[in-house]
Structure 1
Amino acid sequence: MGKTELLITVILFNLFFVSFTVAIMVYIRKYKSRKKEYLNEIKINNEIHQKELLSTQLEIQQDTMQQIGRELHDNIGQKLTLVSLYAQQLVYEKKVPQASDKIEQIYQIVNSSLQDLRSLSKNLTNDNVSRNEIVTLIQDEVNHLNALKKCEVLFNYNCDYFDLDFVRKNVLLRITQEFLQNSLKHANCDEIKIDLQSDNEAFLRLKIQDNGVGFDYEKNNAEGIGLKNMKKRAEIIGGKFSFKSKPNHGTALTVILNN
C-alpha cells in the first residue's frame, strides 16, 4: 500500500470516526431532549390530574355537606321540634307541677339546641362559595373576625370582580382562613392586613401579613402541616406561593395567579 492510499485510508477512518462520534452525540442529545419532553409531559399530566382530583374532592365535599345539612334539618330538626312542643305542652298544662321548673329548663335547652341546629344546617346547605365573589367571601371572614375584637383585620382590594371558578375561589378562601386562624392562635398579633390586587404583572395577587411574633422560617425549615397544605393548594390551582417569617417581624404569605 502506497503512502497516498495509506493517507486516504487514515483520512477516511478519521472522517468515519468523526461522523460516528457526531452521530452518537446527536443521538444522545435527541434522547435527552425526548426524555425531558416525556418527563415534562408526565409532570403536566400529573398537575392536571391533581387539579381534577382537587376539583372532584371539593365538589364531593360540597355535596356531602349539603346532604348532611338537609338531613339535620329534615330529620333531627323535626324531632327536636316535636320534643320542644311536648315540653311546652307539659309546662302550660302543669300536669307535673313538681317538675315544672325542670321541664321549663328542658324546653329552653331544646329550643337553644334547635336554633343552633338550624344555623348549622343553613351554613351546610348554603352554597356560599359558588354564589359569591372572592372579595365577598374574604370580607365575610374579615367581618366575622373583627366582630370578635381579638385582632384588627384590614382588607384592601382594587377590583370587585375576579373571574374565578369554584375550585380557585375555594382554595383562596381556605388559604385565607388557614392563615387567619394560625395568626390568631400563634402570632400574638393585633393587626392583620389582607391585600387582594390585580395589575399588569399578575391576574390576582393575594397577600396576607400579620404583625405578630413571627419565627425563624429559614432556620426552622420544617414546614407545618398547615403551611404544607396552603402551599400544595396554591400550586394545584397554578399559583405561585411564597411565605416569609422572622422573629419579631411578623409573618407574610403571598399567592400569585396568572390567568
Structure 2
Amino acid sequence: MGKTELFLTIFLFNIFFFMFVAAVIIYIRKYKQKKSEYLIEIQIKNEIHQRELLTTQLEIQQATMQQIGRELHDNIGQKLTLVSLYTQQLLYENKVPEVNERIDQVSQIINQSLQDLRSLSKTLTDDNISQKEITTLIEEEVNNINALKKCEIHFEHKGDPLELDFVHKNVLLRITQEFIQNSIKHSQCKNIFIKLNTSEENVWELSIKDDGIGFDTSKTLSNGIGLTNMKNRAKIIGGEYSFTSAKNTGTQLHISFKNKA
C-alpha cells in the first residue's frame, strides 16, 4: 500500500470516526431533550391530576356537609322535636311538682339542643358561598373580624364584579381567612390590607399584607401547616402564588389567576 493510499485510508477513517462521534453526541442530546420534554410532560400531567383531585375532594366535602346537614334536620331534628312534644305533654299531665321541675329541666335541655342542631344544620346546608359574590364574602369576613377589635382590616376592590365558580370563591375565601387568622395570632399586627383587583392580564389578583413583626420564612415555610394550606389551595385553581416575609417588615401574600385565552 502506497503512502497516498495509506493517507487516504487514515483520512477516511478519521472522517468516519468524527462522524460517528458527532452522531453519538447528537443522539445523546436528542435523548436528553426528549427525556427532559417527557419529564416536563409527566410533571404537567401530575399537576393537572393533582389539581383535579383537590377540586374533586373540595366538591365532595361540600356535598358531604350538605348531606349531613339535611340528615341532621330531617332525621335527628324531627326526633328531638317529637321528644320535646312528649316532655311538654308530661308537664301538662303530671301532678307532682318535684317531678315537674325535673321534666321542665329536661325540656329546656332538649329545646336548647334542638336550637343548636337547627343552627348547625343551617350552617352546613346554607350554600352561602355559591349564592354570594367573592367581594361580599370577604367583606363579611372583614366585618366579623373588625368587630372583635383585635386589629384593623382594610379591604379594597377594583375592577368589574367577578363571576367566579364555587371552587374559586371557596379557595379565595379560605386563603383570606387563613392569612387573617395567622396574622392576628402570630404577627402582632395593627393593620391588615386586602386588595382584590381585576385587569386585562389577570382575571383576578389577590394581595394581602400585614404590618406585623414578620418572620424568617426559611425556618417556617417547611413546617407551617397554615402556610402549606394556603399554597395547596392556590394550586387547586392554578393560581400563581407568592409569599414573602421578613423580620420587622410584615408579611405579604399575592395570588393571581391569568386569563388563559
Asked if Structure 1 and Structure 2 have the same fold, meaning a TM-score greater than 0.5 normalized by the shorter chain, the answer is yes
How many angstroms apart in 2 are the aligned matches of 1:20 and 1:182? 62
- Local SS of the residue matching 1:167: helix
1:235-254 counterparts in 2 under 5 A?
A: 235-254=235-254
Question: Relative to structure 1, is the Cα distance of residues 28 and 236 closer, same or farther in structure 2, using a 3 angstrom cutoff?
Answer: farther
SS in 2 for 1:253: strand
Partner residue of 2:2? 2
State whether residues 244 and 251 of structure 2, in contact with CA within 8 Å, keep that contact through their aligned partners in structure 1: yes
Instruction: Output one character per residue of 1:103-135: Cα deviation in whole Å (capped at 9) or x when no partner.
Output: 444433333332222121111112223333222
Relative to structure 1, the CA distance from residue 236 to residue 66 in structure 2 (aligned partners, 3 Å threshold; closer, same or farther) is closer
* CA RMSD between the two structures: 2.2
Return the alpha-carbon distance in structure 1 between the equivalents of residues 201 and 76 of structure 2. 52
Q: How far is the alpha carbon of 1:229 from its aligned partner?
A: 1.8
> Unpaired runs of 5+ in structure 1?
none
> How many angstroms apart in 2 are the aligned matches of 1:135 and 1:29?
51
How many residue pairs get matched?
Answer: 259
**Residue deviations 1:130-170 (CA, integer Å, cap 9, x gap):** 33322222222222222333332221111353343332222
Partner of 2:189: helix, strand, or coil?
A: coil
Aligned-pair distance for 1:79? Answer: 2.1
Matches within 5 A, 1:8-19: 8-19=8-19
CA distance in 2, matches of 1:226, 1:29: 43
Post-superposition offset of 1:90: 4.5
Select between 212-221 and 177-186 the one with higher mean Cα deviation.
212-221
Superposed, 1:18-37 pairs within 5 Å as 18-37=18-37
Report the residue type matching 2:78 in the other structure. Q
Aligned counterpart, 1:172: 172
* C-alpha contact 2:221 2:228 (8 A) present in aligned 1: no
Q: Counterpart amino acid of 2:56?
A: T
Q: Provide the TM-score with structure 2 as the length reference.
A: 0.88
Tell me which amino acid in the other structure corresponds to 1:243: F
Tell me the CA shift for residue 221 of structure 1: 5.0
Does residue 143 (structure 1) correspond to residue 143 (structure 2)? The answer is: yes
Whichever residue aligns with residue 185 of structure 2, its letter is K
TM-score (norm 1): 0.89
Once residues 55 and 109 of structure 1 are traced to their aligned partners in structure 2, the CA distance between those partners, rounded to angstroms, is 40
| CA positional deviation for 1:102 | 4.5
Distance 1:148 1:115, change over 3 A: farther
Match for 2:140: what amino acid?
D
CA–CA separation in structure 2 for the residues paired with 1:95 and 1:191: 62
Corresponding residue number in structure 1 for 2:234? 234
Structure 1 residues 77-226: aligned runs within 5 Å: 77-91=77-91, 95-226=95-226
CA contact (8 A) 2:209 2:251 kept: yes
Structure 1 residues 106 and 146, CA, compared in 2 at 3 Å: closer, same or farther?
A: farther
Label 1:159 to 1:116 Cα distance change in 2 as closer, same or farther (>3 A): farther
Q: Structure 1 vs Structure 2: percent identity of aligned residues?
A: 63
* Residues 135, 160 of structure 1: 8 Å contact kept: no
Partner SS state of residue 203, structure 1: strand
